[in-house]
Structure 1
Amino acid sequence: MNKELRRVSIVVLIMFLALFGSATIIQVFQQPNLKADPRNVREFYASFQTQRGAILVDGTPIAQSVPVNDAYKYQRLYADGPLYSAVTGYFTLNQGSTGIEGAENQELSGTGSDQFFDQVNAIITGKEPEGASVSLTIDPKVQKAAWDALGDYTGAVVAFEPKTGAILAMVSKPTFDPNVLAGHDTKKVIATYDQLLHDSGDPLINRAIAGRLDPPGSTFKLVVASAALANGYTPDSTFPNPPRLQLSGTNTYITNSEGGSCGGADTASIKTALQYSCNIPFAQLGKDLGYDKVATQAKAFGFGDKNLTVPMPVTPSVYPSTNGDPARQELSSFGQGDDRASPLQMAMISAAIANGGELMRPNLVKSITNPDLTTKQDFAPERYGQAVSPDIAATMTQLMVNNVDNGAASNARISGVQVAGKTGTAQNGANNQLPYTLWFTGFAPADDPQVAVAVVVQNGGGIGKAGFGNTLAAPIAKKVIEAVLSR
C-alpha cells in the first residue's frame, strides 16, 4: 500500500512541477511576447485604461493622456500634432502605433518588465497606474524652423548634433494630425486611417528615416571622395575632363549637370569636381576605386545598417552591388543607378566628417522619467564608429566649405559663418523622365560644428526638372542651421 501511495505521490508531484514550470514560462519568460501579441485584447484595452506617460519637448508635453468619460478612461492629445507627427507618430485604438508612441510603448504605458513593481504598488495602494514620460532631444525652435522652411514641399529635414547624436529636428511632409487617429469612435478612426493610408502624398510615411528612399545624387560624392582619400588619392588627383562620357560597355553617355566639361580645363581634380558637382570625374574615380572600396566607405557611414534605430527603425540606405558591371559602378559613383538614401543617412555622413571622422549614433530620446518624477533612464551619447580618419575628415571639411564658398552649394552661405555642404540633384525614372530629387547635406560652423543637417525635396519641388539642390534644398538647410546657431 505504501509503495502504491508513493508512486501516486511521485506522479502528482511531477504533474505539479510540470504545471508550475509551464505557468512560470508563460507568465514570466513569455510575458513580452504575450504583451506584444495583437490577439491579446486584454492587454490592448488595459493600455487605454492607464494614464499613458507624456512625450516631452523642452519640458512641454507634445503628447499626453487626458481623462475622458468613456470605457477607455483616457484619450491621447497631441499639441501641435502635425508639427511633431514625424516624431510622435500616433497611438490608436485599432491601427497600432508608430513613432515614439510605438518605439517607447512599454515605457509610456507602464507595462515594461522593469515596471512590474510599479504596477503591483498601484494595485496595493489603489492608485491609478501611470506610464513613464519620455523626454526628447528635439529643440522646439529648430523643429519649427525646419517645418517652416520646408513649407509645402514634399520631402523631409533632419538635423542633429555631430558631437552627441542628439536629434534637434525631424520633419516630414506631407504630414497628418495624430489627433484624428486618437479618438475612441472606432469607425471614424478606421475611416480616417484608411483615407490617410490611400492618400497619394503618403502622409503616414516618415520620409526622414523611412519609406521609398531616393537616389542621393551628388551628395553621394562625399562617400566616394572619402573613399578616394582613404586609398591614396588627394584632392588634387586629376581625371580626363570630356564634356560627356560613354558609360563602359554601353551606348549611353553621361554629362555634367551644367553640361560641358568640369571647370573648362583638360583635366579635373577631385576638388574641382566636388566644387562644381561634376559627374564625369566622379564616374571615372568610382570606376578606378572599384566597388569594394566605395562599399566599405559607405558601410562605415551607415549604409546597409538594418539595425539602426532612433529609437524608431530606420530603413537601411543602399549602396548596391554593381556585380562587376563597370557602367553600373560609374553611375553609382555619383549617386545614381540603384543608390538609395534617407535624409538621416546623408546627415550622418556630414556629422561624421564634422566630428573628426567619429560618427555618433543619432537618437531622439533624452531621458525617461517615472510617474514619481525620478529619473528612470538617461541616454548618454553613443559612438557608432569611426567613419573616416581625423585627417580625412579635416580635408573633407575644407572641400565642403569650398563647395559653399565658391561652388555649387552657394545658397547655404551664412554671413560670418563657415558652412560646409554638398548639394545633389538626382535623376529619377527610366531615361530621366520623372522630376528630380533635390538634396543638401552639411554642417556648421565648420571650425566648431553645432549641427549637421540633411534636406530632401521630392517630386522636383513641384517644378519638374527645373530645380536644383542649390536652388531649393540649400536655402532650407540654411534656415535650419541659422535656427541652431541663434539659440
Structure 2
Amino acid sequence: MNKPIRTVSIFCMFLFLALMANVTYVQFWKAEDYNTDPRNARVAEASFSRERGQILVGDEPVATSKPSDDQYKYLRVYPSSGARMFAPVTGYLQLGSQTGIERSQNAVLTGEDPQLFVTRLVDLLKGDQTQGGNVVLTLNAAAQKAAFEGLRDTLGPRGEGSVVAIQPKTGRVLAMASYPSYDPNELATHDSKSAAAAYEQLDKDPRDPLVNRAIQTRLFPGSTFKLVTAAAAIESGKYHGDDQVPAGSSYQPPGTTRTIGNDGRSQCNPSKISFATALDWSCNTTFAHLAVEVGPEKMRDQAEKFGFNSNYLLDLKGQAQSVYPTGIPLSDKDGGGTRELSDAETAQTGIGQFEVQSTPLQMAMVTAAIANQGTLMRPYLVEQVQTAGFDVLRTTEPDKLSDAVSPQTARELTDLLVSVVDNGTASPAAISGVKVAGKTGTAQRTSTRCSAGGKPPYAWFVSYAPADNAEVAVAVMIEEAPDRACDEIAGGQLGGPIAKAVMEAVLKK
C-alpha cells in the first residue's frame, strides 16, 4: 500500500473511531441528561403527546391533562379554583420548560420512572399508549387555602409574603403558599407566542410572582430567630427556662460603641428578668447578651442543627440555603481567609440580624423541631407515587435530620412560647380551647428605621399547636405590606391571624 492511500486509510479510521466515540457518548453517557433537559424539543413534544399523570392534593387534581384538538394530543390544565394557590408548588409544564413538581417529578408524570416499568410493559403488551403516573402531595387543602387567602386578604394587591406549615412528627409540608402568585394555565397553553408573552409579563413584574418565596426568598428572620438563641443558651447548660436572664434598657456588646435597644419596651428595662418575660416581650438586650455568652461557634452549631447552612428539601428544585454566618472574609492585605464573628456581630445574630438569613421553610423547621421534642424531620412534599389507575407504588417514609435540641430543652422552650401567646406579643394566634406556642418577629431591613424615612421592616410569625402534642407548625413571612402604615407592620399584628387560620384549618377548629 502506497503512502497516500495508507494516510487516507488511517485518517478514515480515526474519523470512524471518533464517530463511534461520539455516538457512544451521546447514546450512553448523555442520554438521560438530554432526555430530562426541558429545552429538548422532542422530549417536550413527547410530553404533550401522551396523557401525563395527575398531581393530586388529597383526591383532588391540582394538575391534570385533557385531550387537545391541535398538533399535540394533550393540554396540561390546572383547575382554576386552585391554580394560583398551588402554582408555586405544582409549577407549570410549558413547551420547552418545566418548574416545581412538574419538573422534579417529571419522570413519574411522563411514565418513564423505573417504578412504572411494569405498567409500561403491560401497556406495551396490550397495545395501549403509556400513561404517566400520579403524584400525591402532602398538602392539606384547607390549610393551603387558609394560608393563601390569609396572605391575599391581609396584604392586598401589592403585598408580598409566604406561609409554610409542617407536621412536626413527620416533616410533611401541609401548606406552602407564596404571594403574589400566577395562573399556570397561561403558561401551559400550546400557543407558544401567547405563552412567551405571559412569561415575559410575569418575569418583568417587580413583585416576582414566579418566585416561590417559601423556599427561594431569604430575609432577616428578626426576633423569630430568638428561638435558636434561646435553644443555644439552654443547651449550653448556662440557663434553664425558669431562670433569670440578663436584660436592661440597652446593651453594648464588648468591642463596640453601638448599643442595642428594646424599641421602648419597658418590661425589658431591669438588669435581670425572667426568661419568660424576655420572650414574652422579645427583649433584644437579653438575646444579644445570650448570644455573646454562648459564643459564635455554639450559636452556629445550634443554627446548623436546625438546618441552617444546608440543603434538605428533595422534592423541589431551587431551594435557597438559609444562612448563619460561618466567618467574615479578610482582605488580602490582612492575609486573606476568614475570621470569626466579633462579639458585636454575634450579638446582632442573636436577634436575627447581621448576616443571618432565613427562608420561611427554615423557620417553620425550627419551630417544628421544638414542637417535636427536639427532633428535626426532613420536610417533604410528595406523599405517594401512584400508577394512572391509582395503585400505590411508593409512600414517602419520614426521615430524621437531626436531634436539634434535647427533649428537656424542647419542653422548656414550649413552656416559654406558650407564655408568649398567653401573656405576650403572640396573642393574635391564640385559639380557644387549644394550647398554642408562638413567637413574633420584626426585622429591620436597613439601619434607618421606617419612622425616620427608612424602608418598612419584615414581619414574621411562628407558632405550633397543640403545644404539648403538636399537629402543625407554621411560619408566616411578610416581605412587603405597602398598603399598611409603618407602625402596623409587626409579626403579631399581620402574621398572627394568618398562622391562627392555618392552625385552625389543620386542627379543624
* TM-score normalised by structure 1 residue count: 0.91
Instruction: Report the counterpart of residue 9 of structure 1 in structure 2.
Output: none
Mapping of 1:191-270 within 5 angstroms? 191-211=197-217, 213-232=218-237, 233-260=239-266, 262=268, 264-270=269-275
**What secondary structure, in the 3-state scheme, does the structure 1 residue paired with 2:147 have?**
helix
Instruction: Report the counterpart of residue 417 of structure 1 in structure 2.
Output: 434
Mapped pair 1:59 → 2:64: no
CA distance in 2 between partners of 1:271 and 1:444 (Å):
19
Mapped pair 1:148 → 2:183: no
8 Å contact from structure 1 (residues 307, 313) kept in 2: no
Instruction: Report the counterpart of residue 403 of structure 2 in structure 1.
Output: 386
CA distance in 2 between partners of 1:441 and 1:461 (Å):
22
Instruction: Report the counterpart of residue 474 of structure 1 in structure 2.
Output: 496
Q: C-alpha displacement at 1:373, in angstroms?
A: 3.1
8 Å contact from structure 1 (residues 244, 261) kept in 2: no
In the alignment, which of 343, 351, 354 is matched to residue 337 of structure 1? 354
Q: C-alpha displacement at 1:214, in angstroms?
A: 1.1
**What secondary structure, in the 3-state scheme, does the structure 1 residue paired with 2:457 have?**
strand
In the alignment, which of 74, 91, 94 is matched to residue 92 of structure 1? 94
For 1:139, the aligned partner's letter is N
In the alignment, which of 284, 287, 292 is matched to residue 287 of structure 1? 292
For 1:477, the aligned partner's letter is A
Q: C-alpha displacement at 1:483, in angstroms?
A: 1.1
CA distance in 1 between partners of 2:312 and 2:507 (Å):
32
Instruction: Report the counterpart of residue 485 of structure 1 in structure 2.
Output: 507
- Figure out how many residues of one structure are paired with residues of the other and give that number: 473
Cα gap change, 1:206 to 1:190, in 2 (>3 Å):
same
Q: C-alpha displacement at 1:384, in angstroms?
A: 1.7
Instruction: Report the counterpart of residue 83 of structure 2 in structure 1.
Output: 81
1:166-187 per-residue CA deviation (whole Å, 9 max, x = no partner) reads 1111111011111110101111
Cα gap change, 1:145 to 1:37, in 2 (>3 Å):
closer
8 Å contact from structure 1 (residues 210, 342) kept in 2: yes
CA distance in 2 between partners of 1:117 and 1:261 (Å):
67
For 2:367, the aligned partner's letter is S
Mapped pair 1:364 → 2:381: yes
Q: C-alpha displacement at 1:254, in angstroms?
A: 2.0
8 Å contact from structure 2 (residues 116, 387) kept in 1: no
Instruction: Report the counterpart of residue 11 of structure 2 in structure 1.
Output: none
Greater shift in the superposed pair: 154-163 or 312-321: 312-321
Instruction: Report the counterpart of residue 109 of structure 2 in structure 1.
Output: 108
**What secondary structure, in the 3-state scheme, does the structure 1 residue paired with 2:444 have?**
strand
**What secondary structure, in the 3-state scheme, does the structure 2 residue paired with 1:396 have?**
helix
Q: C-alpha displacement at 1:378, in angstroms?
A: 1.2
1:385-425 per-residue CA deviation (whole Å, 9 max, x = no partner) reads 21111111111111110111111111111111100111101
Greater shift in the superposed pair: 159-168 or 36-45: 36-45
8 Å contact from structure 1 (residues 239, 284) kept in 2: no
CA distance in 2 between partners of 1:155 and 1:355 (Å):
26
Instruction: Report the counterpart of residue 275 of structure 1 in structure 2.
Output: 280
Mapped pair 1:453 → 2:474: yes
8 Å contact from structure 1 (residues 354, 449) kept in 2: yes
CA distance in 2 between partners of 1:207 and 1:266 (Å):
39
For 2:424, the aligned partner's letter is G
8 Å contact from structure 1 (residues 437, 459) kept in 2: yes
Cα gap change, 1:370 to 1:476, in 2 (>3 Å):
same
CA distance in 2 between partners of 1:382 and 1:140 (Å):
23
Instruction: Report the counterpart of residue 303 of structure 2 in structure 1.
Output: 298
CA distance in 1 between partners of 2:439 and 2:399 (Å):
26
Mapped pair 1:437 → 2:471: no
Greater shift in the superposed pair: 114-123 or 458-467: 114-123
8 Å contact from structure 2 (residues 90, 100) kept in 1: yes
For 2:419, the aligned partner's letter is N
**What secondary structure, in the 3-state scheme, does the structure 2 residue paired with 1:156 have?**
strand
CA distance in 2 between partners of 1:381 and 1:441 (Å):
22
Q: C-alpha displacement at 1:32, in angstroms?
A: 1.8
Cα gap change, 1:261 to 1:321, in 2 (>3 Å):
farther
Q: C-alpha displacement at 1:337, in angstroms?
A: 1.2
Cα gap change, 1:26 to 1:273, in 2 (>3 Å):
same
CA distance in 1 between partners of 2:312 and 2:428 (Å):
35
In the alignment, which of 425, 435, 459 is matched to residue 408 of structure 1? 425
For 1:194, the aligned partner's letter is E
In the alignment, which of 160, 184, 191 is matched to residue 190 of structure 2? 184
Instruction: Report the counterpart of residue 9 of structure 2 in structure 1.
Output: none
Q: C-alpha displacement at 1:160, in angstroms?
A: 1.6
8 Å contact from structure 2 (residues 38, 98) kept in 1: no
Q: C-alpha displacement at 1:18, in angstroms?
A: 11
1:113-168 per-residue CA deviation (whole Å, 9 max, x = no partner) reads 45456546545543222111101111111111112222242211111211111111
Instruction: Report the counterpart of residue 128 of structure 2 in structure 1.
Output: 127
In the alignment, which of 322, 325, 336 is matched to residue 320 of structure 1? 325
8 Å contact from structure 2 (residues 136, 383) kept in 1: yes
Cα gap change, 1:174 to 1:441, in 2 (>3 Å):
same
For 1:230, the aligned partner's letter is E
Cα gap change, 1:357 to 1:334, in 2 (>3 Å):
same
**What secondary structure, in the 3-state scheme, does the structure 1 residue paired with 2:456 have?**
strand
CA distance in 2 between partners of 1:299 and 1:306 (Å):
11
Q: C-alpha displacement at 1:71, in angstroms?
A: 1.4
8 Å contact from structure 2 (residues 267, 277) kept in 1: no
Cα gap change, 1:234 to 1:388, in 2 (>3 Å):
same
Q: C-alpha displacement at 1:464, in angstroms?
A: 4.9
CA distance in 2 between partners of 1:38 and 1:78 (Å):
19
**What secondary structure, in the 3-state scheme, does the structure 2 residue paired with 1:135 have?**
strand
Q: C-alpha displacement at 1:374, in angstroms?
A: 2.4
CA distance in 1 between partners of 2:132 and 2:93 (Å):
14
CA RMSD of aligned residues (A): 2.5
Residue ranges of structure 1 left out of the alignment (5+ in a row): 1-14
CA distance in 2 between partners of 1:353 and 1:465 (Å):
32
Q: C-alpha displacement at 1:235, in angstroms?
A: 2.5
8 Å contact from structure 1 (residues 86, 206) kept in 2: yes
8 Å contact from structure 1 (residues 161, 168) kept in 2: yes
8 Å contact from structure 2 (residues 375, 404) kept in 1: yes
Q: C-alpha displacement at 1:22, in angstroms?
A: 7.6
8 Å contact from structure 1 (residues 242, 261) kept in 2: no
CA distance in 1 between partners of 2:124 and 2:24 (Å):
21
